[in-house]
Amino acid sequence: MRLAMVIDTKKCVGCSDCVVACQTENDVPIGYCRDWITETVNGSYPSLELELRSERCNHCDNSPCVRCCPTGASHYGTGGTVLVTKNECIGCGACIESCPYDARYQHPKGYIDKCTFCNHRVKEGLLPACVSVCPTKCMYFGDLDNSHSEVSQLLRNRKYKTLAPEAGTKPQVYYLI
Ligand code: SF4
Ligand code: SF4
Ligand code: SF4
């Protein structure tokens, strides 16, 4: 199983419902976030296009954050999801430094936190909170090892990109463009 998220930049309206849902679902402290909205202007004048993206940890297949963690707190979980075991984290911050996407933050309690692909919900057969609340249904979640899954079909049939592919991290959040 290879869990992945596919996000349609053509459908995202930047409403931030995903950000609020994540904060509520995952008890993210005020002033911090596990997901956020990025705006990019593409093209050249006068053909400019605004691209809105809901971003989070990319659950990279080749994660520098897992490699550099001295305690093993950062690790791969089910379906390749990248996770942090709170009580094994010493808060050294090596993983924060190594992530090219700035996807991690230090929780006021000392450990490092980030998107978990809502593994507690996925275990129960639910979708991640951000995916489930999106009013435009621009986010999809599923198993890329299953060729019939919605995420596999979208990546077969649509043009897509990943963020900073040059970093060599093999991100597993894909953006339809
Ligand atoms: Fe690690 Fe950053 Fe990749 Fe997430 S996005 S797996 S924190 S390198
Ligand atoms: Fe590992 Fe925690 Fe250090 Fe990150 S801060 S590298 S998770 S021990
Ligand atoms: Fe937050 Fe869960 Fe969405 Fe990750 S998958 S951004 S933890 S709501």
Given 3.40.50.720, 1.10.1370.20, 3.40.50.300, 3.30.70.20, which CATH number is that of 3-176?
Answer: 3.30.70.20
- Check if 108 has its Cβ closer than 6 Å to any atom of ligand 2: no
- Omega prior to 46 cis, within 30 of 0: yes
Smallest-distance ligand from the CA of 4: 3
Q: What is the pLDDT of residues 32-72, one digit of tens each?
A: 999 999 999 999 999 999 999 999 999 999 999 999 999 99
Task: Confirm if 89 and 71 have CB atoms less than 8 A apart.
Answer: yes
Q: Is the CB of 66 under 6 A from ligand 2?
A: no
Output b/e per residue, 5-33; b: 16+ Cβ within 10 A.
Answer: bbbbbeebeebebbbbbbbebbebeeeeb
Q: What is the pLDDT of residue 120?
A: 98
- pTM of this structure: 0.96
- Tokens representing 32? 């911090």
* Residue 133 DSSP SS3: helix
Residue 65: per-residue pLDDT? 98
Ligand 2, from 76, 86, 89, 109: best to mutate by most atoms within 8 Å of Cβ? Answer: 89
Residue 93 Cβ inside 6 Å of ligand 2? The answer reads yes
Q: Are 151 and 6 in contact (CB under 8 A)?
A: yes
Residue segments in the chain with a per-residue pLDDT below the cut of 70: none
